[in-house]
Structure formats: structure tokens, C-alpha cells
Amino acid sequence: MGQAMNLVDTHNHVTPWSPDATQTYEQLMEETARRGLHGVAICDHYDPNSKTDDESAWKFDPQAYMDAFYSKRRMPSKRKPGDPPGFLLGIELDWIPEKKQILHQVFNDHPFDLGIISMHFLRGHDPYYVPEAIYTDKLETIYNEVINDIADSAEEMSEVQIIGHFDYFSRYAPDADSKMRYQHAPQAFDRLFKIMIKNGQALEINVGTIHSLMKRRGYSTNEAMPDHVILNRYRELGGRYFSICSDAHHVERNGLHMAEALAYLKGLGITEFVWFEERELRLP
């Protein structure tokens, strides 16, 4: 409360649109107001490999999503004192290189405010369910592959605004010290950042990763923060845009560790977090 003037939490999930979400739109909006946020975005999962449209599909019907939420949008930039927080409509696209035409199509054929491109699979495997298929080598090798794949996604999906959770694969690596660091893959990070800067894409600080590293690997809050060398390198190369999000799927995860993350980032001189309205960059 009061922690977050002009802060837009740009990446969250709601039921029934994401199968792993339990919070409703109404609950999310209640939490957003309680936290005193300037706005919030929902970005439900879109996995182009997901076959069916039943309740467990990792894919939603974009037209039905528009029908449900388009009229509820409120632009944070147009917010006046006393207005409720802004509400933006986005999508979290799963990077599947072979399905890139579907990703372009779903994003470009529907009026999302923002798109996030996220990697949840490596070599077709899900790190949550089959870590043994992914973490087959030392972290340097795996993270180099991951960041290069994310760089491919940023390059191919140049029309999306945000590069989601670059550190997602650190959540599930079996190593005791799984936190992702610049030194794991310096050339891959440089390649990714140069592509993002060329495309004007924002680097997402995903507070969900901080929570996951604390819970799964026993890091302290401070140790679980994203590697400052990564963030500083992005800025050193000319990166200016950071977004920040809870990536909340459940009510209690809204804003969890956000205050600590903001304090940590402030210590690095990172105090501005962007959002997008009708795909246009907005600064606080």
C-alpha cells in the first residue's frame, strides 16, 4: 500500500483463461486497488502446441478473451485522481519456433495492449515436469542455450513488447545454486539485449522467480533478486525499459516480494517501470 505510485503490474493470470490460475478477474482487481497500483495487465497463456480448447488447454480463444475483457480496459495514462486502477489486456505467448506463424497471427489479429514472449520449453521439454530432460549439462551450457533461444524469440517476435522471465529456467534447475547470472552466458545475454534494444522491447523483472528461488532453493530474499550484473549490462548496452510483474496466478501472490524487489532495484538506480497501451510504450 502506497508502495507503488504509478506502478503497473504488467503480467498476471486469471481463471479460467489459464489452467494454472485460481484467481478471478474480480479478485485481481480487488488486490490491485488494495495495493494502490496505477494499473494491472492480464496476460494469459497461449501455447500454440496446445491441442484442445477444453478447460485444461494452455491456450484460450482470443476472440472470447476480447469479448470478456476488451470493454473493461482502462488506460493508466488517462487515470484521474479517485479513478480505479487501470486495466490492460495482454497475452503471454509461448515461444515455440516451429509455430511462430500462429504466434504472429494471434497477436496481430487481435487488439491486445501488449504481448509478452516467454520461454517455457527447451528442446520441447517442460522444466517443471521433466527437469532431467533439460538439465543434462552444467548450468553455463544450459543457460547459454536458453538465453540464445530467448534472443531468437525476441528477434522473430519483434512486434511483442516484453521479454518475459529471462530467468525462468533457474526456478527448476536441480543445482543448489541455480540462480541465473551474467557470467553463465555473457555472449548470449549481450546478443539478447542488442536485439531487444533494436526492437524497443522491455526486460521483465518477474517477481515470481524471486519467490520460486526462495521457496525451492532456500535463497534469502536478497540472494534471490535478479543478478545485478545482468541488469547493469542491459543498461550499459543501452537498454532503458524495464517492466515488473507479480506473474500472479493466485490471489496471495499479488505483490508478494514486490516491495523488496522495488527496493533492491532502486538501489541499482532502476526506478521506472514501463507498460504498454494499445502497444505504445508508456512511462510512469
In angstroms, give the least distance from the CB of 87 to Zn ion: 17
In angstroms, give the least distance from the CB of 115 to Zn ion: 12
Residue nearest Zn ion by beta-carbon distance: 118
Q: Specify the residue, 113 or 247, whose C-beta has the smaller distance to Zn ion.
A: 247
Q: Specify the residue, 47 or 247, whose C-beta has the smaller distance to Zn ion.
A: 247
Q: Specify the residue, 11 or 191, whose C-beta has the smaller distance to Zn ion.
A: 11
Cα–Cα distance list, 31 to 43, 97, 101, 233 (Å): 16, 35, 36, 34
Task: Say how far apart CA 257 and CA 223 lie, in whole Å.
Answer: 13
Choose the stretch contacting Zn ion; rule: CB under 5 A; options: 25-33, 74-82, 141-149, 242-250.
242-250
Q: Specify the residue, 20 or 236, whose C-beta has the smaller distance to Zn ion.
A: 20
In angstroms, give the least distance from the CB of 164 to Zn ion: 5
118 binds Zn ion (CB under 5 A): yes
- For residue 196 the three cell numbers come to 531487444
Three-state SS string over the chain comes to CCCCCCCEECCCCCCCCCCCCCCCHHHHHHHHHHCCCCEEEEEEEECCCCCCCCCCCCCCCHHHHHHHHHHHCECHHHCCCCCCCEEEEEEEEECCHHHHHHHHHHHHCCCCCEEEEECCCECCECCCCCHHHHCCCCHHHHHHHHHHHHHHHHHHCCCCCEECCCCHHHCCCCCCCCCCCHHHCHHHHHHHHHHHHHHCCEEEEEHHHHHHHHHHHCCCCCCCCCCHHHHHHHHHCCCCCEEEECCCCCHHHCCCCHHHHHHHHHHCCCCCCCEEECCEEECC
In angstroms, give the least distance from the CB of 250 to Zn ion: 12
243 binds Zn ion (CB under 5 A): no
Q: Specify the residue, 118 or 212, whose C-beta has the smaller distance to Zn ion.
A: 118
Chain positions 65 to 104 lying near Zn ion, rule: CB under 5 A, are: 92
In angstroms, give the least distance from the CB of 18 to Zn ion: 8
Size of site (CB under 5 A) for Zn ion = 3
In angstroms, give the least distance from the CB of 247 to Zn ion: 5
Q: Specify the residue, 86 or 127, whose C-beta has the smaller distance to Zn ion.
A: 127
Instruction: Give the one residue of 247, 265, 270, 282 binding Zn ion; rule: CB under 5 A.
Output: 247
Chain positions 161 to 190 lying near Zn ion, rule: CB under 5 A, are: none
Give first-to-last CA distance, the chain, whole Å. Answer: 17
Choose the stretch contacting Zn ion; rule: CB under 5 A; options: 48-56, 118-126, 225-233, 276-284.
118-126
Q: Specify the residue, 118 or 144, whose C-beta has the smaller distance to Zn ion.
A: 118
Choose the stretch contacting Zn ion; rule: CB under 5 A; options: 50-58, 116-124, 132-140, 255-263.
116-124
* Amino acid symbol at 184: H
The site for Zn ion (CB under 5 A) is made up of 92, 118, 247
